[in-house]
Amino acid sequence: MTARRLWSALAAALALGLIGTGAELLLIEHHEDKTQFVPLVAIGLTLVTLAWHVWTPGATSRRSLQGALCLQVVAGLVGVVIHARANAEFQREIDPSLAGWPLWRKTLQAKAPPALAPGMLAQLGLVGLVYAARPGAEDSRS
């Protein structure tokens, strides 16, 4: 397999991951308040800039893609914190005596919201940053 095909496969895997994650968020109605729109916006922005860069490679589209991917990473990490805090608050309401490791364990094991699920956005962002950093990204088609 040529390097060009590998980079194209990486771009396709990134696009499929973003589409799948976005579809799942829409299916679970992850848009009840303003903060829940953030991952949807980040995914949409990343998909648009990825498509732009694939069809019109250049320095501007590459930098735009890298910016969107950085936003994706930040959104994922912030989402983990938001989910974990919500879970910790809920666990403390159920059992005010929880603290330390037992609280942390219950926080991470909670199913709604899944504390580590937003990490998928960060992971996809990091995969995309690898794609965007490939040699010759400005002047060759994916």
pLDDT tens per residue across all 142 residues of the chain: 688 899 999 999 999 999 999 999 999 999 989 999 999 999 999 999 999 999 999 999 999 999 999 999 999 999 999 999 999 999 999 999 999 999 999 999 988 889 999 999 999 999 999 999 988 765 545 4
Residue position matching structure tokens 């914190």: 81
Listed residue (119, 126, 127, 123) closest to 11, CA to CA: 127
In a domain, 103, yes or no: yes
Quote the pTM value: 0.88
Host domain of residue 70: 3-132
In a domain, 140, yes or no: no
Helix (H) or strand (E) holding 50: helix 34-55
In a domain, 137, yes or no: no
Please, is 126 exposed, middle or buried when counting C-beta atoms within 10 Å of its C-beta (0-12, 13-18, 19+)? middle
In a domain, 14, yes or no: yes
In a domain, 139, yes or no: no
In a domain, 118, yes or no: yes
In a domain, 138, yes or no: no
The domain total for the chain is 1
Strands annotated E in 23-113: none
In a domain, 141, yes or no: no
